[in-house]
C-alpha cells in the first residue's frame, strides 16, 4: 500500500482511482468515499471527529450536487406546477385542460432534454454518498428515454379527442410525469437501495395507469394481475438486496463489485443475485416470468400499452445492463448460461404463441416476449459487443413499436373520422 504524507493526498488519490483501495477494510473505504465526495476538510491526523467543514466547502457541495441533479429537480418542480394548474382548471371546468397539461409535460421533457445535453460535458461524478452517478452512459440513456416518452405522450393526445373517454382526466399526464422522474432516478442509481425505491415509485405509477379505465372488466383484471406480478417482482428484488447486504454489509455498486472481484463463490451473494435477476425477468417479461403479461397488455388502453412496451422496457434493459456488465460481472459464469437458456425459450414461446392470436394487442404481447429474447441473448455473451447490441436493439425496437402504436391510435380515435376503422383484431388490418 502506498504511504501518504497526510490525509489530503489519500483522499485525492481515492477520488481519482477508487479501485486501488478495494483491498482495504470496507468501512475505511466508505469513510474515504464520504470525505472525497462530500467534504472539504482540514485535519492533521486520522481523527475524523476533528473534521471542519468550511463555508467554501458547503458552497462547493451545494453547487456541485445542485448542478448535476438539476434536470431531476426541474422535472419534480414542474410536475408540482402542472399539478396545481390541473387542479385549478379542473375546478374551473376549463375546456381542453387535459391537452394543455399534456403539452406542458411535453415542454418539461424538452427542457429536461436540454439540461441533460448540457450535463454531457461533465465528468463522471458521484452524488449523495455515491447513491447517484452522473456519467456518459446514464445521461445518454436518459436522453433516449425522454425522446421515447415524449413520442408516446404526443401520440396519446389523439386519444383525448375521443368522446366519452373514461380516463380523460388531468391525472393521466401527471402520473406519466412522475413515472418519468422515477425512471430517470432508476437509470442513474448507483446503490441497490435507490434502485429498489426507484422501481417501486415507477411501479406505483404504472399500477394507476393500467387501471385508469377501471369500468372495463378487462382493465380491472389487467390491473389486478399487474399489481400481483409487480408485488412478486419487487419482493424478489428486495429479498435479493437483503441477502447481498448481509454478505457485503453495503448496497453500493462499487463496493459490491470490489468484494466480488476477490470472493466469487459466496453462496449468499449468488443467491441474492439470482433473486434480483428473477425480479428483473418479471419486469421484462422473460419466459417463464411473463405469466399474465398477455392479459395485461390486452386489458389496458393503447397509450398505456405503448408506454409499458417501449419506455418502461427500455429503462429496465438499461438498468439490467449496468448490473450485469459492472456490478455482477464477476458472476458471469453463473448468469450467462441462465440468460442464454431463458432467451431461447422466450424466442420460441413468443413466436409460437403469436401464431394463435386474433387480437392485435395480444399478438403484440407475444411479439414483445420474442423480442426480449433477442435482447437477453445478446446480454448473455457478457461482452461489450453484446452490450452495444442489446442497447441498439432496444432503441430500434422502441422506434418501430412507437410507429406501430401510432398507427393504431391514429385509426382508433374519433379525431380522424374520415375512415371509420377500428383496429382491434388482426383481420382489421386488411381494411387499411
pLDDT attached to residue 76: 92
Cα separation, 277 vs 270, whole angstroms? 10
Lowest mean per-residue pLDDT among 61-65, 145-149, 353-357: 61-65
Confidence grade of residue 92 (pLDDT, cut at 50, 70, 90): low
How far apart, in whole angstroms, are the C-alpha atoms of residue 387 and residue 385? 5
**Torsional class of 162: left (φ above 0), alpha (ψ -120 to 50), beta (otherwise):** beta
Give burial (CB, 10 Å; 0-12/13-18/19+) of 70: middle
pLDDT, tens digit (0-9, with 9 covering 90-100), for 344-367:
998 998 888 888 887 888 888 888
The mean-pLDDT minimum among 29-43, 221-235, 266-280, 286-300 falls in: 29-43
Contact 282, 233 (CB under 8 A): yes
Average pLDDT over residues 97-107: 81
Quickly list DSSP for 62-124.
HHHHHHHTHHHHHHHHHHHHHHHHHHHHHHTT-TTHHHHHHHHHHHHHHHHHHHHHHGGGSPP
In angstroms, rounded to a whole number, what is the distance separating the alpha carbons of residues 318 and 402?
18
What percent of the chain is modeled with pLDDT above 90? 19
Kindly report which listed range (19-28, 121-130, 254-263, 268-277) carries the lowest average pLDDT score: 19-28
| pLDDT recorded at residue 57 | 47
The whole-number pLDDT of residue 300 equals: 82
**Is the per-residue pLDDT at 432 higher than 80?**
no
Confidence band of 102 (pLDDT split at 50, 70, 90): confident
Alpha helices (H) in 119-216, listed in sequence order:
136-156, 171-188, 192-210
Q: Which of 52-56, 96-100, 159-163, 220-224 has the highest mean pLDDT?
A: 220-224
Can you give the pLDDT at residue 334? 87
CA distance 21 to 420: 67
pLDDT over 70 for what percent of the chain?
75
Residue with cell 432534454: 113
CA distance 225 to 293: 8
pLDDT at residue number 53: 39
Instruction: For Cα atoms 224, 296, 367, give the angle at the middle one, nearest 5 degrees.
Output: 160
Return the pLDDT at 46. 37
The predicted pLDDT at position 48 comes to: 38
Tens digit of pLDDT for each residue in 183-241?
A: 999 999 989 999 999 999 999 999 988 887 767 777 888 888 888 888 889 999 999 99
> At 55, is the pLDDT very low, low, confident or very high (cuts 50, 70, 90)?
very low
pLDDT at residue 51 greater than cutoff 50: no
Distances (CA, A) of 106 to 41, 66, 111, 141: 43, 23, 9, 18
pLDDT for 133: 86
- Is the pLDDT at 111 greater than 60? The verdict is yes
Q: Which residues pair with 133 in a beta bridge?
A: 126
pLDDT of residue 302: 82
Mean pLDDT score across all residues of the chain: 78
pLDDT over 60 (residue 50): no
Provide the pLDDT for residue 96.
56
Checking if the pLDDT of 56 tops 60, the result is no
d(CA 242, CA 212): 34
Nearest Cα to Cα of residue 314 among 303, 302, 306: 306
- Assigned C-alpha cell, 429: 388490418
Spatial neighbors of 141 by CB under 8 A, at least 6 apart, are 187, 318
The answer for residues whose C-beta is within 8 angstroms of residue 392's C-beta and 6 or more apart is none
CA atoms of 385 and 383, how far apart (whole Å): 5
Whether the pLDDT of residue 163 is over 50: the answer is: no
Q: Which of 55-59, 67-71, 279-283, 318-322 has the lowest mean pLDDT?
A: 55-59
Q: Is a pLDDT exceeding 60 seen at residue 161?
A: no
Amino acid at each position: 500500500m502506498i504511504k501518504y504524507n497526510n490525509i489530503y493526498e489519500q483522499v485525492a488519490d481515492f477520488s481519482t482511482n477508487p479501485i486501488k483501495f478495494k483491498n482495504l477494510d470496507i468501512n475505511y473505504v466508505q469513510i474515504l468515499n464520504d470525505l472525497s465526495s462530500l467534504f472539504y476538510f482540514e485535519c492533521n491526523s486520522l481523527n475524523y471527529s476533528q473534521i471542519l467543514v468550511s463555508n467554501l466547502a458547503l458552497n462547493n457541495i451545494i453547487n456541485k450536487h445542485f448542478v448535476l441533479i438539476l434536470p431531476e429537480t426541474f422535472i419534480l418542480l414542474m410536475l408540482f406546477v402542472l399539478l396545481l394548474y390541473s387542479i385549478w382548471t379542473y375546478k374551473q371546468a376549463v375546456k381542453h385542460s387535459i391537452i394543455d397539461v399534456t403539452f406542458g409535460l411535453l415542454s418539461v421533457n424538452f427542457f429536461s432534454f436540454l439540461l441533460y445535453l448540457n450535463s454531457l460535458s461533465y465528468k463522471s461524478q458521484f452524488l449523495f454518498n455515491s447513491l447517484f452517478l452522473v456519467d456518459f452512459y446514464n445521461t445518454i440513456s436518459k436522453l433516449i428515454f425522454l425522446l421515447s416518452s415524449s413520442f408516446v405522450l404526443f401520440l396519446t393526445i389523439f386519444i383525448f379527442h375521443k368522446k366519452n373517454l373514461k380516463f380523460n382526466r388531468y391525472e393521466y399526464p401527471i402520473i406519466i410525469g412522475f413515472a418519468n422522474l422515477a425512471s430517470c432516478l432508476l437509470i442513474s442509481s448507483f446503490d441497490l437501495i435507490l434502485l429498489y425505491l426507484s422501481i417501486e415509485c415507477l411501479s406505483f405509477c404504472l399500477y394507476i395507469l393500467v387501471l385508469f379505465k377501471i369500468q372495463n372488466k378487462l382493465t380491472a383484471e389487467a390491473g389486478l394481475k399487474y399489481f400481483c406480478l409487480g408485488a412478486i417482482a419487487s419482493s424478489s428484488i428486495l429479498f435479493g438486496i437483503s441477502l447481498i447486504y448481509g454478505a457485503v454489509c453495503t448496497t453500493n455498486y462499487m463496493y459490491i463489485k470490489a468484494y466480488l472481484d476477490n470472493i466469487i463463490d459466496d453462496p449468499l451473494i449468488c443467491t441474492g443475485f439470482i433473486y434480483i435477476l428473477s425480479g428483473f425477468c418479471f419486469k421484462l417479461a422473460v419466459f417463464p416470468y411473463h405469466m399474465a403479461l398477455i392479459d395485461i397488455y390486452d386489458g389496458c388502453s393503447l397509450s398505456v400499452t405503448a408506454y409499458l412496451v417501449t419506455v418502461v422496457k427500455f429503462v429496465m434493459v438499461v438498468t439490467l445492463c449496468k448490473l450485469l456488465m459492472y456490478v455482477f460481472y464477476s458472476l458471469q459464469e453463473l448468469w450467462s448460461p441462465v440468460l442464454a437458456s431463458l432467451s431461447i425459450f422466450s424466442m420460441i414461446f413468443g413466436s409460437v404463441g403469436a401464431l394463435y392470436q386474433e387480437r392485435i394487442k395480444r399478438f403484440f404481447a407475444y411479439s414483445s416476449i420474442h423480442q426480449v429474447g433477442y435482447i437477453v441473448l445478446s446480454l448473455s455473451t457478457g461482452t461489450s459487443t453484446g452490450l452495444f447490441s442489446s442497447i441498439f436493439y432496444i432503441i430500434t425496437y422502441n422506434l418501430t413499436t412507437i410507429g406501430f402504436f401510432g398507427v393504431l391510435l391514429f385509426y382508433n380515435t374519433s379525431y380522424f373520422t374520415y375512415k371509420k376503422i377500428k383496429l382491434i383484431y388482426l383481420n382489421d388490418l386488411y381494411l387499411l
